[in-house]
Structure 1
């Protein structure tokens, strides 16, 4: 009898338990209280090259440092500009040093079930913000070959080639007062089979024109992905 009651209680509570983990819009009252917003992107400066061949023996990958692309600044600018369309809100880039991204990544702990957000929340509080919007590179189980952040994915399946520049992240929103996450949304790694670039096993092997095209496509992808995600949250 107690077992049946326990199962019934779990079923009745399960929507409440899972709702905290599911992405989606912020509750209206919390959204309306977001007036002074700090925005930070921690996507980083690494461009990932990923090739999935017919077998695991044909898989290849590379990493390239592209700080001159200023991807974090671009992502922050996209959000601040989008939010500023609402005259009742003010959004500004979070003030921080260049080492914040590395410290944040190193804060990950399985014991604490994820990352430590204390530093970024404290920085937003010092800046006078009531809300923090954080763009964070992440893994996605349904696309295990895509590395967190952004890059060029090239896959061959049964002689059919699919490739594209992609971005993969989450946008997380925090209340500074409660230090709790009030909402979040995915930036999914969409790929439409855009075979406009060949696969090369090193970033240095691409011509300057090809690198320029990669940068342009990365910027376009991040802009579309960020706007879709931040709009899905409710801003």
Structure 2
């Protein structure tokens, strides 16, 4: 799922508003050899401020360009309201980050989390984030482009959590382990936000 913004539209982009709507849910998932071994859990991690940190990193990356000016908007509103808010800031482009699944690698749930995959002799665990960034023309409301949080034709990038063992409950992790997971998630979403901006053609 990738469609770079047309060059003509790229040239018209000047003022950008970034909205991240990944949400506050951390997902732990185990995909086993058979469905009977599968396991998962979800936990609220609103205090991690994942959306705020992702949007801030995207804004910082965009603002490195001499031609572009970006600001972040914290909102869970639907697209029409987001477009109105962007227009109120005199922005010409709206970027919306949303969770998205990938049918080629279904073991990774949309959003972000700690995934473990076991298959016969294989056992892989990693922290990941999976989303798309969609660019909209604020005036027309039309989609200009869309890009995954990982490079085209490549696998979903993981931060291999070699020092952490996947557990079937978030509460089984120690305070220090939870902090390591939080840091890995923030690293993943901020790194992948830049990748999606490159996929849109907004960054080199």
Q: TM-score, normalised by structure 1?
A: 0.79
Counterpart CA distance in 1 for 2:121 and 2:34 is: 12
Counterpart CA distance in 2 for 1:63 and 1:203 is: 8
The Cα of 1:222 is off from its aligned counterpart by 1.2
- Larger of the two Rg values belongs to structure: 1
The Cα of 1:48 is off from its aligned counterpart by 0.2
Corresponding residue number in structure 2 for 1:47: 26
What's the CA shift string for 1:104-123, capped at 9, x where partnerless? 4xxxxxxxxxxxx2222122
Task: State whether residues 71 and 219 of structure 1, in contact with CA within 8 Å, keep that contact through their aligned partners in structure 2.
Answer: yes
Corresponding residue number in structure 2 for 1:178: 140
Figure out how many residues of one structure are paired with residues of the other and give that number.
Answer: 197
Root mean square deviation, CA, Å = 1.6
Corresponding residue number in structure 2 for 1:216: 183
Q: Secondary structure at the match of 1:68?
A: helix
In the TM superposition, structure 1's runs of 4+ consecutive aligned residues that sit over 6 Å from their partners are none
1:159-170 correspondence to structure 2 within 5 Å: 159-170=121-132
The Cα of 1:67 is off from its aligned counterpart by 0.7
More RCO (CA 8 Å, sep 6+):
2
Q: 1:214 to 1:194 in 2, by over 3 A?
A: closer
Q: Could you list the runs of 5+ residues in structure 1 that have no partner in the other structure? A: 1-21, 105-116
Q: Does 1:89 align with 2:68?
A: yes
- Structure richer in strand, relative to its length: 2
Task: State whether residues 94 and 127 of structure 1, in contact with CA within 8 Å, keep that contact through their aligned partners in structure 2.
Answer: no
1:1-235 correspondence to structure 2 within 5 Å: 23-94=2-73, 96=75, 100=76, 104=78, 117-188=79-150, 189-191=156-158, 194-235=161-202
Q: Could you list the runs of 5+ residues in structure 2 that have no partner in the other structure? A: 151-155
Task: State whether residues 137 and 170 of structure 1, in contact with CA within 8 Å, keep that contact through their aligned partners in structure 2.
Answer: yes
- Structure richer in helix, relative to its length: 1
